[in-house]
Chains A and B, each alone.
Chain A
Amino acid sequence: MPNQDKSKEKESRPTTRRDFLRGAGNYTVASLSGAAMLLADPKPAKANITWAEHFQKNYRLMTEEEKQEAIERLETRYSEEYGKKVTVDGTPSIEGVLFGYALNIQKCIGCRRCVKACVAENNQSRGDEQQIEWIRVLRMEKGNFSAEDRDQHGYPESFGVQVGGNAYKPAGVVLEGQHYYEPEQVPEKDAFYFPMQCMQCEKPPCVKVCPVRTTYRDPDGIVVIDYNWCIGCRMCIGACPYWARRFNWGEPNLPKEEMNPVTHYLGNRPRMKGVVEKCTYCVQRTRKGRWTACVEVCPVGARKFGNLLDPNSEIRKVLAKKKVFRLRADLNTYPKFFYFMD
C-alpha cells in the first residue's frame, strides 16, 4: 500500500523542474532524431547546409574560418539551386577607402536605367507577384513661386517641396514626387528627376534600431546586412528617412537564367523570404575596384562614385568644384550620397 500511495502521490504532484527538464530532454532527443532524418534525406548535402546555416552566428562575430565555412555552404547551395557556378565573396573593406557617391540632378533624365541595372546586378526579386527595386526615381514638377506666394499662400503645390503652410495656415500634404510616371520620352519639359537609394549614412538610423544588430556599417562606409541573421522585424524600414530598405514579403522570384552568379555575402547573394535588403553600393563590385552597375549604365553620366579619402578622385573633385547638397542633412545622418548641380 505505501508503494501505491507513493505512485499516486507522484501522479498528483505538479510537474517539478527536474521532470520538466527530463521531458525537454526527451523532446531534444526527438528533435535530434528529426535532424537525423533530415540528414538521411536523399539530398544529404542540402540538408546539412540548411541545418548548419540555421545555427550559424552573426556574420560580424564569426571567425575567419566560420566565415569561410558559411560562404562555402552558400556557394554549394546556390550552385545547386540555380544550376550554375555561383561564387560568394567575403571580401572585407579596403584599408584607406571611404566610398562616396554623387549624383548630378541637373543631368538626370529619369530614364530608370539605373533601376533596372541594379535589379540585374543585385538579384532582386522580380515579376508581378513581388517586385523589389533598390533605386527609386522620383519625377518632380518644376514650378515658380514669388514672395507674394510665400507670404500669402505658402509654397505653391507644384513646387515639389511642401504644399502650403506658413505662419497663418497649416502645412498641407507634402508632394513627394511621382514614382509611376510613364511618358513616351524623357526628359520631359516641365520636370526634373530625383533618384534615391541607400545613402550609406555615417550615422545610420537603421543600424541604431536593429534589435539583433544584423545590419551594421563597415569601415569603408557601406551599411550592410547579414541576411541570415535578420529576423524580419522591419524596424530599420521604419527608421530609414530615405525609404531605402525593401522587405521580402514572399519568396523572392529570381529566374535561374537571370541570376547574377558573382555575389557577395553581404551584398547581392540571393535573399530569402522575410529579410530586409537595400543598396550596398554593389559591394561585390566596388570592393574589387569596379564601378557600381548604376554608375556604368547611366546614359548621361550623372552618377559619380569613388573614394572620399583620395584627394584626386572624381568624387572629391565634384565636392570641391560643384554645388553640392545632401538629402535631409537636418537629420544628422551624414549621408555619403551627394547631389550636385553644374
Chain B
Amino acid sequence: MMTSYRNHLSIMGLWLLAILSIKPSLGAGLEQTGECFESRDGMSQVDVHESAAGVVNVKCSPETGGVLWWGDPFEGTVPMGDMEVEADYWHEEAVVKPREPQIDRNKMLTICSMACHNGVYVPIPYNKDARPLKMHLDIIPDAMNLKHGKGGVWCLDCHHLVDRTKLIDNFGYSVSFNQPQKLCGKCHGQVYRAWRDGIHGKRIGMWDQGGKKRWWVCTECHNPHDVEQGDRNSGFAQLAPEPAPNLPKGMTNADHERMHHGPDKGDSTH
C-alpha cells in the first residue's frame, strides 16, 4: 500500500506543479502548497490551498508536514446526518469528513472492488479462523502486520465478505467507511460513549453549544489494522515531533536537564 501511495504522491506532486505553473495567483505569504496530514500520516491528508481571499485552509509544519493551523475547519465535511448520537449536541450542527476519499486516494477501493471483490470472482474462504491473509503483499505490504484484538480479530470481522467498499458490524449489517464508529463501538463501548460525550477523540470548529463542530471519527486517528502501533502501545502511531525551543543564549547543549541531581548521587542506583 505504501509504494502505491508514494507513487500516488509523486503524481500528485506533478499535478500540483502543473497547477501552480498555470495559476500563480496565490498572494504573497500564501506560498504554502502541497499537502500535510492531520493525525495519521498517509491516511488523513489535506491539500493546502486558498480557502478565502488571503486565507489558507491549513498551515503545515515545514519540519514534520503536520497540520499546524486551521483556517477553515469545516472544509470537505458533510453533515453527520443519520448517525445516531445520543449526546447533548444538535446533530444537524455536527459534521464529519468522509473517510472514503482518504481510503480511496490510490483508487484501491474503486478498482479492487470493481474488478474482483464484487462477490462474484473471489471464493469466500471456508476457514474462518482469525489470521492475517498473505495476499496482495505487492499492493498491501503491511497485510501481515495485523495487530488487533490480540490475535482474535481478522479481516472479515470488519470488512464486508463480498463488498469491499463496505465494513460489516457483528450483526452482519454493512457499515460505511465514513462511519467506522458504528463498527468500532460494538466492542469498544466505553470509548465510544466517551467519544460521544466529546471526552475521547477530537472535535474542531465552534466550542459553544449548538455551534458547528467537526467530529473526528475513529480511523482518522487510529490505524485499525495495527492499533498497538507505537513504542508505547498507545493506540496512536508515533510521529516526528516539532523542533524544540531555542536554547538560551550562550548555552550550547541541554545536558543540564538530562542530568540527575540529588543527595544520593553516586551511592545508590537511584
Contacts and interface: CB of A to CB of B under 8 A. Distances in A.
Interface of A: 84, 107, 109-113, 115-117, 120-121, 128, 131, 133, 136, 149, 153-154, 156-158, 163-165, 169-170, 172-173, 175-189, 256-258, 261, 286, 289-291, 293, 295-301, 304-307, 310, 312-314, 317-318, 321-322, 342
A175 B198 CA distance: 34
Q: Which 10 A-B pairs have the closest CB atoms?
A: A257-B29, A301-B202, A172-B262, A180-B254, A314-B198, A185-B238, A163-B262, A112-B242, A173-B261, A157-B260
Contact of A109 (B29, B209, B239): B239
B245 A299 contact: no
Given A186-B238, A186-B241, A306 B261 contact: no
B141 interface: no
A180 B69 contact: no
B193 to A, nearest CB: 9
B29 to A, nearest CB: 3
Contact count band on B:
35 or more
A180 B257 contact: yes
A310 B209 contact: yes
Contact of B208 (A184, A289, A318, A342): A289
A305 B29 contact: no
10 contacts: A84-B54, A109-B236, A110-B241, A117-B69, A158-B270, A185-B240, A256-B29, A295-B204, A299-B236, A307-B208
A169 B262 CA distance: 10
Contacts of A306: 207
Interface string B245-265: 111000000100110111111
B66 interface: yes
A313 B270 contact: no
Given A149-B270, A164-B264, A291-B205, A301 B200 contact: yes
B138 interface: no
Contact of B246 (A131, A301, A342): A131
Contacts, number: 190
B135 interface: no
A187 B263 contact: no
A214 B73 CA distance: 34
A170 B200 CA distance: 42
Nearest to B251: A180
B234 A187 contact: yes
A296 B71 CA distance: 10
A318 B260 contact: no
B175 interface: no
